[in-house]
């Protein structure tokens, strides 16, 4: 497993995130030594979903209004239909996401997570995957959409659904570890 000691990862979610798409990647990141923080427009807790049923609530570590992308090394965007649909309508969430791309920091997005990437105007010219219903939206935004379990494109890792999480986690950890090594080299 990739060593991520010292890497700070923001996990941006709103109400209605797909629970497994937050909890399983977060667990993989934590086990690899990263410091993860749940960022949300919600103040204290944010509600997860297991497909069409309510899941567990997750503690918010940093309210979105107080979060700065400059304080993090990487970004995770879980899916779920309601979650990214809400985030893409919030200018502060869109700016938060765009700041990671502007700084060349790695981003991992799964399922419906790329909706927020479209709004941040960062998918043009990239190849990625997502839940199939986003295919036309992504193509209209200038991306090449492919139906694969995981796609890596210049620091962006994307996957389609909860069943893809093992492949998603593997590639996310690898890309985030590469970024950590680059950060360490710059610090020397």
Label residue 2 by pLDDT band (50, 70, 90): low
* Both structure tokens of 46: 């944010």
Q: Evaluate if pTM is beyond 0.75.
A: yes
Note if 3 is an active site residue.
Answer: no
* Both structure tokens of 66: 């107080």
Q: Which has the closest alpha carbon to 114: 83, 70, 73?
A: 83
- Reduced to 3 states, what is the DSSP secondary structure of residue 85? helix
Q: How far apart are CA 112 and CA 118, in angstroms?
A: 11
In this prediction, residues 83-87 reach a mean pLDDT of 95
Out of 42, 111, 172, 179, pick the active-site residue. Answer: 111
- From 45-54, 111-120, 167-176, the region with the lowest mean pLDDT: 45-54
Return the pLDDT at 142.
Answer: 98
Tens-digit pLDDT profile for residues 14-73: 999 999 999 999 999 999 999 999 999 998 999 999 988 888 999 999 999 999 999 999
- When the candidates are 3.40.50.880, 3.90.105.10, 3.30.70.1110, 2.160.10.10, the CATH number that belongs to 8-181 is 3.40.50.880
Q: Which has the closest alpha carbon to 11: 47, 33, 32, 35?
A: 35
Q: How far apart are CA 27 and CA 58, in angstroms?
A: 13
- Reduced to 3 states, what is the DSSP secondary structure of residue 111? coil
- Reduced to 3 states, what is the DSSP secondary structure of residue 145? strand
Note if 112 is an active site residue.
Answer: yes
Q: Which has the closest alpha carbon to 172: 35, 13, 32?
A: 32
CA angle 103, 104, 107 (to 5 degrees): 110
Statement: residue 186 has pLDDT above 90: no
Residue 69 is classified by DSSP as: G
Return the pLDDT at 6.
Answer: 87
Label residue 185 by pLDDT band (50, 70, 90): confident
Q: Are strands 127-128 and 107-110 parallel, antiparallel or unpaired?
A: unpaired
Segments of 34-97 assigned E as strands: 35-40, 45-50, 53-59, 62-63, 74-77
* Both structure tokens of 88: 């893409």
* Both structure tokens of 76: 């995770």
Return the pLDDT at 175.
Answer: 95
Count Cα neighbours of 33 within 13 Å in the Cβ-side half-sphere.
10
Domains of the chain, residue spans: 8-181
Mean residue pLDDT across the chain: 95
* Both structure tokens of 11: 């996990």
Out of 112, 126, 160, 161, pick the active-site residue. Answer: 112
Label residue 3 by pLDDT band (50, 70, 90): confident
């Amino acid at each position: 497993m990739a060593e991520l000691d010292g890497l700070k990862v923001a996990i941006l979610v709103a109400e209605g995130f797909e629970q497994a798409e937050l909890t399983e990647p977060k667990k993989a990141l934590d086990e690899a030594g990263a410091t993860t923080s749940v960022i949300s427009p919600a103040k204290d807790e944010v509600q997860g979903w297991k497909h069409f049923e309510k899941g567990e609530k997750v503690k918010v570590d940093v309210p979105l209004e107080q979060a700065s992308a400059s304080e993090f090394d990487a970004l995770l965007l879980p899916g779920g239909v309601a979650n990214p649909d809400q985030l893409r309508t919030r200018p502060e969430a869109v700016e938060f996401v765009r700041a990671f791309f502007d700084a060349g920091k790695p981003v991992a997005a799964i399922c419906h997570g790329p909706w927020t990437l479209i709004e941040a105007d960062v998918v043009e010219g990239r190849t990625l995957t997502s839940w199939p219903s986003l295919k036309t939206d992504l193509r209209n935004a200038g991306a090449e959409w492919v139906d694969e379990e995981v796609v890596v494109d210049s620091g962006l890792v994307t996957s389609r659904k909860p069943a893809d999480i093992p492949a998603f986690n593997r590639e996310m950890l690898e890309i985030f570890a590469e970024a950590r090594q680059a950060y360490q080299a710059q610090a020397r």
